[in-house]
């Protein structure tokens, strides 16, 4: 059993890295997007192997959804739609190669030079809870305060960036009953 799970775990690692590399190798936005999704799914299943079930399933859920939404954006914002025809997934090759090589050497040096700590103790029965408490425990108040502030920031940014204001929608005296919108809505507009 131990051997099978080991092979499964490292096999998924290979899939994750290969799919990640494929993102830059393929010549279509759709393939690149879903190669990235495959990479994340492999990582999510690896996290399941580590018994972080919630984190693993959420990783798969969020990443697949994110890639599907990316498919929406790539048609919305990619101008004359290079997204729909074959295109290269790389640019600034020389600079990128230099940065990649330097980063690899830096991280590899770190792995080789740092003394790794010896393991003390054993995993707690519920590793997800332990991880959550280690990450959030003393900072829960900060997290609880930051989330509404972040939502308010997003809403404010969208309101400020919007081309049309409430005066365009409801008239100069704001007395128009149904808003005048270019895009029809589903609940009475």
Q: Give me the 59-78 binding string for another protein, x by CB under 8 A, dash otherwise.
A: -xx--xx-xxx-xx--x---
Q: Residue 184: how many CA atoms within 13 Å on its side-chain side?
A: 2
SS3 category, 100: helix
Residue 96 or 181: the one with the smaller Cβ distance to another protein is 181
Residue 68 or 136: the one with the smaller Cβ distance to another protein is 68
Q: How many contiguous H segments (helices) and E segments (strands) does the chain have? A: 7, 0
The answer to whether 31 contacts another protein (rule: CB under 8 A) is yes
Where are the extended beta strands (E) located within 8-158? none
The answer to whether 90 contacts another protein (rule: CB under 8 A) is no
Contact predicate 34/26, CB 8 Å: no
| d(C-alpha 76, C-alpha 97), whole Å | 30
- Tell me which residue has tokens 């190798």: 25
Structural element, H or E, at residue 118? none
| d(C-alpha 112, C-alpha 18), whole Å | 24
The answer to whether 5 contacts another protein (rule: CB under 8 A) is yes
| Nearest Cα to Cα of residue 183 among 164, 158, 157, 160 | 164
Tell me, by CB under 8 A, how many residues bind another protein.
36
The answer to whether 58 contacts another protein (rule: CB under 8 A) is yes
Residue 69 or 78: the one with the smaller Cβ distance to another protein is 69
Residue 95 or 114: the one with the smaller Cβ distance to another protein is 114
For another protein, the binding residue among 79, 110, 148, 184 (CB under 8 A) is 184
The answer to whether 87 contacts another protein (rule: CB under 8 A) is no
* Subset of residues 104 to 133 that bind another protein, contact rule: CB under 8 A: 123
Which residues of this chain interact with another protein, rule CB under 8 A?
1-2, 5-6, 9, 28, 30-31, 34, 37, 48-51, 53-54, 57-58, 60-61, 64-65, 67-69, 71-72, 75, 84, 123, 183-187, 189
């Amino acid at each position: 059993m131990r051997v099978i799970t080991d092979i499964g775990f490292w096999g998924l690692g290979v899939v994750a890295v290969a799919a990640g590399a494929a993102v830059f190798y393929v010549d279509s936005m759709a393939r690149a997007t879903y190669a990235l999704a495959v990479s994340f799914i492999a990582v999510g299943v690896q996290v399941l192997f580590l018994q972080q079930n919630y984190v693993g399933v959420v990783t798969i859920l969020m990443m697949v959804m994110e890639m599907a939404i990316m498919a929406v954006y790539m048609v919305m914002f990619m101008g004359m739609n290079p997204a729909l025809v074959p295109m290269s997934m790389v640019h600034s090759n020389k600079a990128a190669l230099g940065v990649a090589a330097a980063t690899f050497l830096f991280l590899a040096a770190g792995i080789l030079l740092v003394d790794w700590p010896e393991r003390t103790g054993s995993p707690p029965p519920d590793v997800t809870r332990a991880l959550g408490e280690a990450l959030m425990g003393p900072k829960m108040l900060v997290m609880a305060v930051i989330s509404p502030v972040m939502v308010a920031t997003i809403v404010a940014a969208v309101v400020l960036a919007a081309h049309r204001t409430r005066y365009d929608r409801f008239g100069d005296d704001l007395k128009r009953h149904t808003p005048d919108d270019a895009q029809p809505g589903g609940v009475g507009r």
